[in-house]
A and B are shown apart, each in its own frame.
Chain A
């Protein structure tokens, strides 16, 4: 049963600390997305990769956030330094552009981040 995995599932940290969230997309998928969900803003796209190349990170605060795909099996989202307003649930999703159901995105369980 292929699924997107995310670690950690929960993270509590203090303001100013670095936070790294990891995502393992479904094997064979060529697109990876990072979303943030808050009560106030709902779901927002932060960054989008295709074939490991960043295609769109316009939704991401550039001064403190960075997203990378070191290899096809790992995507990372880093926040440095973290701030209380970054508290949210961060979702990773993957998909396969060019295959069957190519527009369907498969979501991971999310990382629930709390910055004190």
Chain B
């Protein structure tokens, strides 16, 4: 059974700092991996999607990498801003069913 873990569970950084969020998974037979952001009391917003054949994806200040062999993905946020404060979730697509298996989440607080 696929298990997805995110470390750290919570992170507080000063504004402007670069940071890395980690996502680990136990079964490397994944279809793709997606990073989401969730604001308090809100739904999830998709940030980046990495296909299993790709190594990384970039969108603005965000860069996500994928290393299937080691069962890891990282989300890099450059020059963090208070508006980046949210919970970040990684999720794996296990195959053609399009089912998502979510990680435990990292709660990020960027201090002004």
Contacts and interface: CB of A to CB of B under 8 A. Distances in A.
Interface of A: 4, 31, 33, 42-45, 48, 50, 55-56, 91, 93, 95, 97, 101, 103-110, 112
B31 A103 contact: yes
24 contacts: A4-B43, A31-B98, A42-B102, A42-B103, A42-B104, A43-B91, A43-B102, A45-B100, A48-B98, A50-B98, A56-B99, A91-B43, A91-B44, A95-B98, A97-B98, A103-B31, A103-B98, A105-B46, A105-B100, A106-B46, A107-B36, A107-B45, A110-B42, A112-B41
Given A43-B102, A48-B99, A101 B43 contact: no
Contacts, number: 51
B44 A103 contact: no
Majority secondary structure of chain A interface residues (helix, strand, loop or mixed): strand
A103 B34 contact: yes
Contacts of B99: 45, 48, 56
Contacts of A108: 43
Nearest to B96: A97
Contacts of B34: 103-105
Interface of B: 31-32, 34, 36, 41-46, 49, 89, 91, 93, 97-105
Contacts of A33: 100
